Amino acid sequence: MKQILVTRSSMPSFEEYADEIKELWDTHWLTNMGVKHKQFQKKLCEYLKVNNIELLTNGHMALELTLQAMELSGEVITTPYTFASTTHAIVRNGLTPVFCDIKPDDYTIDADKIEALITDKTSAILPVHVYGNICEIEKIEKLAEKYNLKVVYDAAHTFGETYKGIGVGNFGDASIFSFHATKVFNTIEGGAVCFKDEKYSAKIYDLKNFGIHGPETVSGIGANAKMNEFCAAMGLCNLRHIDDEIAARKKIYDKYCELLADVKGVCIPSAQKDVKNNYAYFPVVFDEDKFGKSRDEVAEELLSEGIFARKYFYPITSAFDCYKDRFNPLDTPIAYDVSKRVLTLPIYGELGEENAEKICRIILK
């Protein structure tokens, strides 16, 4: 039986990639901010409509080192409805995540519930543009101004998106992106961060390159989180095809919407106002009482037909084993509830509308 996975890395042709990396065999310059890194950085700034971008080894290190660069302390308000990385980045910086609930319509942080969680220990808000849904930027900005808090967006899912025509990397004090193999846009592994204040670009550069300032000068206590030339080359290739990939994803997304809209007990995404979408994920939330089957039953049925839908994001991070006895998942009842009912359906450019139809047929059966 042919398997369909939740996503499939988009790749250029072998020849295109081989052509892109050919010069590395002449120069033998494979990493440490080489030519491909520089070219890719410049091209990304243009595509993402941002003034600055630092490239890193992956999205997680971009986030973890950004929090470190901002010298945050105490508590960070965030949501548990996300991938492990968001919460781990906070905890691994010695900070305490304070979990705010999400909105039931787009699963992003409920900005109206943030203020009640702010204490004299709060230093930042870390909202997640989950599935590519943009958070309530204006409300969050107002709160940050009022309480003098930093805002770091986990924009791992929002490559290429705009809000009111502005590149999503421009919001908050920083926004981090993931270029992992499973993302709309990939550099095999990779990540990046954009800052409002460019002074942080120098800080993150130190943190990703041992704090080295010259062959005999080390003035910062940095780690190693540089993007290498092969990943940057993959980025240069994939960037040439990104608009086609997003357009192909839109067709799948529209097909799912067409076939699953108006089905009782099935909640599908709705378009956000003023947002240019990248169609990163297609989350479906099942109401067992109305639909007649639970999320888990639907997932099993799909699996029996070789279709690997995924339960992103179940469990919520506050329910992880590693955080047992530390957080209470019931503090965020909406996130907890949605996580038990959500299934993200396969979506990627090469999936094809006929496969999307097949997936819907199985669900509706």
Q: Which residues bind ligand T4K (CB under 6 A)?
A: 5-9, 58-60, 82-83, 85-86, 128, 154, 156-157, 178, 180-182, 191, 308, 312
181 or 362, CB closer to ligand T4K?
A: 181
Q: Which residue is nearest to ligand T4K (CB)?
A: 59
Report whether 343 contacts 309 (CB < 8 A).
yes
Residue (83 or 205) nearer to ligand T4K, CB? 83
> Shortest gap between Cβ of 301 and ligand T4K (angstroms)?
18
Closer residue to ligand T4K (CB): 143 or 280: 280
Please identify, using beta-carbon distances, which residue of 291 and 335 lies nearer to ligand T4K.
335
How far apart are alpha carbons 60 and 88 in whole angstroms? 9
CB of 154 to ligand T4K, least distance (A): 5
Q: How far is CA 170 from CA 98, 201, 212, 243, in A?
A: 24, 14, 28, 20
Q: Counting beta carbons within 10 angstroms of the beta carbon of residue 118, is it exposed (0 to 12), middle (13 to 18) or buried (19 or more)?
A: middle
Round to whole Å and give the CA distance between 291 and 225.
Answer: 46
Judged by beta carbon, residue 87 or residue 291, the one nearer ligand T4K is 87
Strand 150-154 relative to strand 122-126: parallel, antiparallel, unpaired? parallel
Minimum Å gap between C-beta 79 and ligand T4K is 10
Q: Smallest gap, in angstroms, from Cβ of residue 16 to ligand T4K?
A: 18
What angle (nearest 5°) sits at the alpha carbon of residue 206, between those of residues 82 and 127?
20
Provide the CB-side half-sphere exposure for 234 (13 A, CA): 17
Give the DSSP H or E segment for 357: helix 353-364
Q: How far is the CB of 219 from ligand T4K (least distance, A)?
A: 27
